[in-house]
Structure 1
Amino acid sequence: MTLLIRTLEYLRFYLFWTLDFFKGSNTQKHLTDIAYKIENYSSPKVIALRQESLKKILDHAVNTTDYYSKFKNYHSIKDFPVINKNIIRSQEQEFKSVIFLNKKTKTVSTSGSTSSALKISQNKNKTIRNTADSIYFGKISGFKIGYKLLYLRHWDDVLRKSPLTKFMQNIDELEVVNMNNEYISKIIRNIEKDASKKGWLGYPSGFELICKYLDSINSKPIKANIKSIITMSEGLNNYTKKAMNKYFKSEVVSRYSNMEHGIIAQQKKGSSDFLINTASFWVEIFKIDEDEPADINEPGRIVVTDLYNYAIPLIRYDTGDIGAINYNKKYPVLTKIEGRKADIIFNTKGEIVSSFIVANVVEYDGIIQGQLIQEEEKEYTLKLNVTNNFNQESNVIKEFKGYLGHDAVIKILYINEIPLLSSGKRKATINNYLK
């Protein structure tokens, strides 16, 4: 059986690259380009190549789309406005390149967790670039083509793959919605029986539930041959990071990506910083409430220019997320990614507070889940899902006053479950005061 599994791994690996070879080695060319540009970020040649890629997409946008046509006399990217999901949705046709109107493109759609969904067309070269990005960032986390991918997320009818595709891509679709102990136990049994090399990819909240279950049965480390664990879409708390490493013997890294673009940044093993995908994107940080660049290490809006989507150029696209950049390293990194601007929590002095103060609340004995809501300038509700073992309410309030301010008014609300969004994700924070 082990020989058969190894044979299938090699077959999938060589079949993928053989097919790519006969199609012109496009994925391999992109992969080589990504590795070279990221790993030689500071070289004069790579700096020139990045500038060339940026100029190409800007020129394409002003010459082939109605929206950007008024910027034909631009001098630099600084002459372009910041756009967002709502602007594109209200003027969708104006963003489309006339060159690709009658050509076959791929349509990707945002989940619509925070508003109605947005559909973005991607030209073929962009979809190949995304595949190469996935291969590169998977590889630096320990995942290789041919390994089995345990993919833990919400699978709707649009995302769900056919049995043949799942077999060819070696993917196990694991559903994060309504996870219970019986389902988790089944997942663990199946991966223990399977001797193949594997990678986990999924929502941290789903991994947290798996770890809590393994805690409850006093489980020993799982013999599952896990080579890579990547989390996405939600904040990764310290408990889940440590527990996944404990049970599956693989370091967890967090990925920052979205449906509109692809992989924007990802942690490297041994670092909490997010390596920015400078090969495929031009990333800027703007002040929270102004279209002006933020200072170095100042938290601000993450604004992304896609260097490869020519079907709908996304120039200076406000992702809605908050982060901070540090350029004083070998490669530029995002030192912070705080999630949606609409969900950012402020302390009583008006300063941004990291969402991880909520993510790590599960380290208290008896707390299963938590969610922090800012109701007014100095008023907060902390929702807690707890077991009968929990008896540290005063300690939790004291800790949160340390984060939010000693004049913060914190109300504890005990609930049975933090509800999932339609995407299968959970919000750690909500800001009703801003709304």
Structure 2
Amino acid sequence: MREQIFWLVDFFRGQPVRKHYKELGAILKDPFGDLASSIRQKALSELLSHANKTVPFYKEISPSKFADFPVIDKKRIQDDFDSFKSAKFDTENLFKVATSGSTGVPFILFHDQRKRNRNTADVLYFMEKTGYRIGNKFFELEVWRKHNQRSRLRNFLQNSIQFDISKLTDERIDEMLELIKNTNQEINILGFASALETICKYLDEKKQTAKFKNIKGIIANSEYLSDYTRDAVERHFGSPIYSRYSNEEIGIIGHQTNTSGTAFELNWASYFIEILDMQEDIPAKKGSMGRLVITDLYNYSMPLIRYDTGDVGIFDERGQQFLKVVEGRKMDMVFDTSGNILSSHVVYTKFLAYYDLLNQYQFIQTGKKDYTIRLNAKVKFDREEELIKSVKEDFGQDANIKVEYVMEIPPLSSGKRRKVINRMVFK
């Protein structure tokens, strides 16, 4: 019923979401085919022309030369905010979007109605490829506060439950599991990977297996999805789990789907995506890690052209249709003692053998050869030397490693938990 009502309302509004949704399907079926390439090139050309005519920052740049547009980032926009706003839009009619600021100062920009409709279509398209249908019961595991809490009426209409994970205690987990158990509808779940991991660890400790039969798909967002969490979710909830790559200021950039495997299907329909060298604004070498730079084709109120997301990744061997890995923020990347970049997955493997002994861990690089490991242990941890030896195997035998024992590793204000931190970037 909710699905029919949603599309009926969209119909009477002129089908703004349906039109975007259909275009997404047409493009992403073969994003580099002749038809899709033609649509995408037209969208890019129109965006660049619009920016040149109405956005002060871009008025001196020829819209015919995409490479002439500079790579920008949050700081560049914050320092000259008004020059990035299109003169064609009245701010009062726009939608303010703010990032959490969990790793720095909150970032604010504006979306117009067309961009909002496009984002809605993006969400529907990719969620359907993870088992979701409009009307399914939707559990959202996040930190909910006044700035993002929806009204009861809106949650009812969307058939959603905003479940707060600020303090994910055993009692709170039991409460969530009971809610799911008592739901006689098809269910989808969206939540931080760290929250899903905490829930699975609790079930492992209690030797419980939920085995719900009505969960159609689970999506982990905002954080790295470990192999443990992926396996444990499928084991306990009887549902596949998918990772989403998105951010607040843009939307869904990539998504694992029921056909992509562990790679991310990239949203070439809504964005132009580049992976640039870590130091220079040139394409990264094939198979090398690079900066993810995004051009949003549909936000005309405040165009983001060649926007450095602060994340890094590698295109998949199958081509640019897929992202093999996304490593998160550059400030979360770590290096060995010789200065070589190491994947955050390497850090994860160092702690896999100790999952039954630890509540939490955090790995921090504090200097070129200096590392701190913070452990919140369940019991006395007597394998410290073994852990240090394992870390040195990948980070270097000359690594200086300090282990600290703590009672709690608190989440950021957004509710996210950073397991890997590089503090050298602030020096």
TM-score range, shorter chain: over 0.9
Q: CA deviation at 1:403?
A: 2.2
- Pick the aligned partner of 1:358 from 333, 347, 350: 347
Q: CA deviation at 1:58?
A: 0.6
- Pick the aligned partner of 2:53 from 49, 63, 67: 63
For structure 2, list consecutive stretches of 5 or more residues without a partner in the other structure.
none
Work out whether residues 213 and 238 of structure 2, in 8 Å CA contact, stay in contact via their aligned partners in 1: no
- Equivalents in 1 of 2:407, 2:91: separation in Å? 51
Residue aligning to 1:320: 310
Work out whether residues 358 and 370 of structure 1, in 8 Å CA contact, stay in contact via their aligned partners in 2: no
Matched residue type, 2:306: R
- Equivalents in 2 of 1:384, 1:224: separation in Å? 36
Matched residue type, 2:113: K
- Equivalents in 2 of 1:432, 1:113: separation in Å? 15
- Equivalents in 1 of 2:120, 2:323: separation in Å? 22
Q: Deviations over 1:315-372 (max 9, x none)?
A: 001111111123x526621112111112210011211111123345255231222111
Matched, 1:153 2:142: yes
- Equivalents in 2 of 1:358, 1:102: separation in Å? 44
Q: CA deviation at 1:77?
A: 1.3
Residue aligning to 2:412: 421
Any runs of at least 4 consecutive aligned residues in structure 1 with deviations exceeding 4 A, and if so which?
none
Q: Deviations over 1:378-434 (max 9, x none)?
A: 111111111116433233222222221222222211111222111111111111223
Residue aligning to 1:34: 24
Matches within 5 A, 1:320-339: 320-326=310-316, 328-329=317-318, 332-339=321-328
Matches within 5 A, 1:7-406: 11-71=1-61, 73-101=62-90, 104-223=93-212, 225-269=214-258, 271-326=261-316, 328-329=317-318, 332-360=321-349, 361-364=351-354, 365-388=356-379, 390-406=381-397
Percent identity reads 39
Work out whether residues 49 and 63 of structure 2, in 8 Å CA contact, stay in contact via their aligned partners in 1: no
SS of the residue aligned with 1:70? coil
- Equivalents in 1 of 2:80, 2:319: separation in Å? 40
Work out whether residues 27 and 35 of structure 2, in 8 Å CA contact, stay in contact via their aligned partners in 1: no
Aligned-CA RMSD value: 1.5
Work out whether residues 45 and 63 of structure 2, in 8 Å CA contact, stay in contact via their aligned partners in 1: no
Q: CA deviation at 1:102?
A: 5.4
SS of the residue aligned with 1:100? coil
Work out whether residues 144 and 162 of structure 2, in 8 Å CA contact, stay in contact via their aligned partners in 1: yes
Work out whether residues 304 and 318 of structure 1, in 8 Å CA contact, stay in contact via their aligned partners in 2: yes
Work out whether residues 373 and 432 of structure 1, in 8 Å CA contact, stay in contact via their aligned partners in 2: yes
For structure 1, list consecutive stretches of 5 or more residues without a partner in the other structure.
1-10
Q: CA 1:419/1:358 → structure 2, altered by over 3 Å: closer, same or farther?
A: farther
- Equivalents in 1 of 2:204, 2:380: separation in Å? 14
- Equivalents in 2 of 1:260, 1:381: separation in Å? 32
SS of the residue aligned with 1:244? helix
Give the aligned length: 423
Normalising by the residue count of structure 1, what TM-score does the alignment of the two structures yield?
A: 0.94
- Equivalents in 2 of 1:289, 1:42: separation in Å? 28
- Equivalents in 2 of 1:403, 1:230: separation in Å? 31
Q: Deviations over 1:75-111 (max 9, x none)?
A: 3211100001111111111111111125611111111
Q: CA 1:431/1:210 → structure 2, altered by over 3 Å: closer, same or farther?
A: same
Work out whether residues 358 and 371 of structure 1, in 8 Å CA contact, stay in contact via their aligned partners in 2: no
SS of the residue aligned with 1:128? helix
SS of the residue aligned with 1:149? strand
- Equivalents in 1 of 2:134, 2:319: separation in Å? 28
Q: CA deviation at 1:297?
A: 2.0
SS of the residue aligned with 2:398? coil
- Equivalents in 2 of 1:102, 1:340: separation in Å? 30
Normalising by the residue count of structure 2, what TM-score does the alignment of the two structures yield?
A: 0.96
Matched residue type, 1:63: K
